[in-house]
Amino acid sequence: MNHAVTTTVAADDNDNDNDGQHAFRSAARGRWHRLRANRLALLGLVVIVLALAVSAAAPWLAPHDPNVAEPQLRLAPPGAPGYWLGLDAQGRDIFSRLLWGGRRALLASIPPVVAAVLLSLALGLLAGYHRGRWPALIMRVIDILFAFPMVLLAIGLATALGPGIWAVALTIVFSATPYLTRVVYAGVRAERDKEYVEAARACGATTADVLLREILPNVATAAVVYGTTLAGGMIVFQAGLSFLGLGTQPPDADWGRMVAEGAQVLVLGAAHVATAPALVIVALALAFNWLGNGLRDVLDPRG
């Protein structure tokens, strides 16, 4: 008899697990269909995936060494034999430098934004859920970071660490974290006194269980969506730091550095040197914005 009861309970548990998995898969398929229906979001996703794939495959796709110059062909226009996008002021292949520059631009922008999202979730959950002096202290520190100019922060880090990709990455983490933490903090404050949270506490859930199982799923969506949109701005910000000489250093290829070098030869009629990397920066920034807007509509339709 006991064996039969145990078997029945186990079967019910399996049925519940299967129902939960089926519901999750159905919800995921529904969200994917809604994302595909948003043409701009789908286009943004395609552009981002293509940029990641092409940058990762740069050693095999680049037709020339990005740092090898052909001085006799300097400033050759797009369409020159063997050089699709032409050559820069030193005679280096622009197309090859675009591919290699994407590796550094994406590495200095996307991982720091991901790190900022994770850090902001931790800070926002702790500061928003708890009451007292130290949660207020966390938010006061966030307010101070809000008031600190990002370029000055980049200059300070570049002075301490030396110009390069690490200074840019840390600047982006410190710059993005206040914005994302504010989003998470506001969401947690709105959720912490709702009925489902009170019910979880009444059932004996620990603080960690309440934060991770109850509140986090309801605030993570906003952080992911805002982080995706923010990544587009950070692509431009990273390029701007390289333009100012605080990012990737010569002779390594970087989109912002390429724009800076191209700006010096505009008066010579070689607009293609700066135009090609500038268009790539704008396209990728727009792609992240389109994808972020699409994710907002899919993951948080009520918002």
Tens of pLDDT, residues 134-150: 888 888 888 888 887 87
Structure confidence at residue 27 as a pLDDT band (50, 70, 90) = low
pLDDT above 60: residue 132 = yes
User: Does pTM surpass 0.85?
Assistant: no
How does pLDDT run across 249-299, given as a tens digit for each residue?
A: 888 888 988 998 888 888 788 888 899 999 999 999 999 999 988 888 777
The β-bridge partners of 80 are 83
Residue with more model confidence, 18 or 274: 274
Residue with more model confidence, 1 or 268: 268
Residue with more model confidence, 207 or 47: 47
Check if the beta carbon of residue 120 is closer than 8 Å to that of residue 142.
Answer: no
Average pLDDT of the residues in 76-80: 87
DSSP class of 146: H
pLDDT of the residue at 46:
93
pLDDT above 70: residue 166 = yes
Contacts (Cβ under 8 Å, ≥6 apart) of 124: 180, 181, 182, 183, 184, 185, 187, 188, 219, 223
pLDDT above 70: residue 129 = yes
Q: What percent of the chain has pLDDT over 70?
A: 88
pLDDT of the residue at 96:
92
What are the φ/ψ torsions at residue 93 (nearest 5 degrees)? Answer: -65, 120
Check if the beta carbon of residue 44 is closer than 8 Å to that of residue 288.
Answer: yes
